């Protein structure tokens, strides 16, 4: 397309089509990419999309859906259930929910069963312990937290399931727009915790979907 080379075989290699990352692209470029991907007759997903981008896409695609909190645009139907268990999305605070929803919506569209457990951060960690059974039964857990990012270490030390930690840019000045949470998560002493980049809810949801598709529930329990 001159400004973009579309990976039309990604669904064959990865099980899910190429996704449009909206920041840095003009609205016209995004609309043209959507129109080109429609020729492949598959799912089209656009992340970090503003309401203005959605309105432009919807003008030429009346069936486009917008998940406002997650900032995701969807064209096409979500995949049939492919995951073998439940992905649990855990957020430290209410302010982390937009990134948690980006992860949740991504995983749902990929065909996974989801549960959400929001606002259970370390400032009131008893709220997390009230839901320990949900933590123990999940097949994969995504932990989304800003500030100092300690929640993923606590969850990782409690459960057998793999934990995907997502640092968010939520926090006061010394959190450095998510860097503090990122470093805490990377330095976790809890085994079984992996970390994606700051505010990368999409990457966490995608990775959780791959694990959930391959790893049967109760494989080692």
Q: What's the domain count of the chain?
A: 2
| Domain housing 48 | 10-75
Tell me: do 153 and 70 sit in the same domain: no
Q: Which of 75, 102, 119 is the last residue of a domain?
A: 75
Q: Which residue has the higher pLDDT, 202 or 77?
A: 202
Cα separation, 138 vs 114, whole angstroms: 9
Tell me: do 44 and 109 sit in the same domain: no
Quick: pLDDT tens for 111-138.
Answer: 899 999 999 988 888 999 989 999 999 9
Tell me: do 41 and 98 sit in the same domain: no
Mean pLDDT value of segment 178-204: 95
The CATH number for 42's domain is 3.30.1370
Cα separation, 91 vs 110, whole angstroms: 20
pLDDT band at 88, cuts 50/70/90? very high
Specify the pTM: 0.89
Quick: pLDDT tens for 7-41.
Answer: 888 877 877 888 899 999 999 999 999 988 888 76
Tell me: do 51 and 146 sit in the same domain: no
Tell me: do 70 and 23 sit in the same domain: yes
Residue 4 located in a structural domain: no
The CATH number for 135's domain is 3.40.50.1970
Tell me: do 49 and 153 sit in the same domain: no
Q: Does pLDDT of 141 surpass 60?
A: yes
Residue 31 located in a structural domain: yes
Residue 50 located in a structural domain: yes
Residue 1 located in a structural domain: no
Question: Any idea which residue has 């999305």 for tokens?
Answer: 89
Mean pLDDT value of segment 1-11: 82
Closest CA to 56 of 30, 90, 83: 30
Q: What DSSP string describes 112-165? A: -EEEEE-S--GGGTHHHHTTHHHHHH-SEEEEEE-TT-THHHHHHHH-SS-EEE
Quick: pLDDT tens for 99-110.
Answer: 999 999 999 998
Question: Any idea which residue has 């749902």 for tokens?
Answer: 108
Q: Specify the DSSP element, H or E, that contains 90.
A: strand 86-91
- What six digits make up the tokens of 59? 């003008």
- What six digits make up the tokens of 84? 């073998």
Q: Does pLDDT of 98 surpass 90?
A: yes
């Amino acid at each position: 397309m001159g400004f973009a080379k579309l990976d039309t075989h990604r669904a064959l290699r990865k099980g899910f089509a190429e996704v449009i990352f909206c920041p840095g692209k003009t609205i016209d470029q995004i609309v043209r990419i959507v129109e080109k991907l429609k020729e492949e007759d598959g799912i089209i997903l656009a992340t970090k999309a503003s309401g203005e981008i959605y309105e432009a896409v919807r003008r030429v695609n009346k069936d486009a859906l917008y998940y406002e909190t997650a900032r995701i645009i969807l064209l096409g139907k979500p995949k049939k259930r492919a995951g073998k268990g439940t992905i649990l999305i855990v957020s430290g605070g209410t302010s982390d929910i937009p990134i948690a929803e980006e992860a949740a919506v991504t995983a749902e569209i990929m065909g996974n069963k989801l549960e959400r457990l929001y606002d259970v951060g370390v400032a009131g960690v008893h709220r997390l312990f009230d839901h320990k059974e949900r933590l123990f039964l999940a097949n994969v857990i995504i932990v989304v937290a800003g500030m100092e990012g300690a929640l993923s270490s606590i969850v990782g030390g409690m459960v057998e399931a793999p934990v995907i930690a997502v640092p968010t840019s939520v926090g006061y000045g010394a959190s450095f727009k998510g860097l503090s949470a990122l470093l805490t998560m990377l330095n976790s002493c809890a085994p079984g915790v992996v970390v994606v980049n700051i505010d990368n809810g999409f990457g966490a949801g995608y990775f959780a979907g791959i694990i959930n598709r391959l790893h049967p529930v109760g494989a080692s329990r």
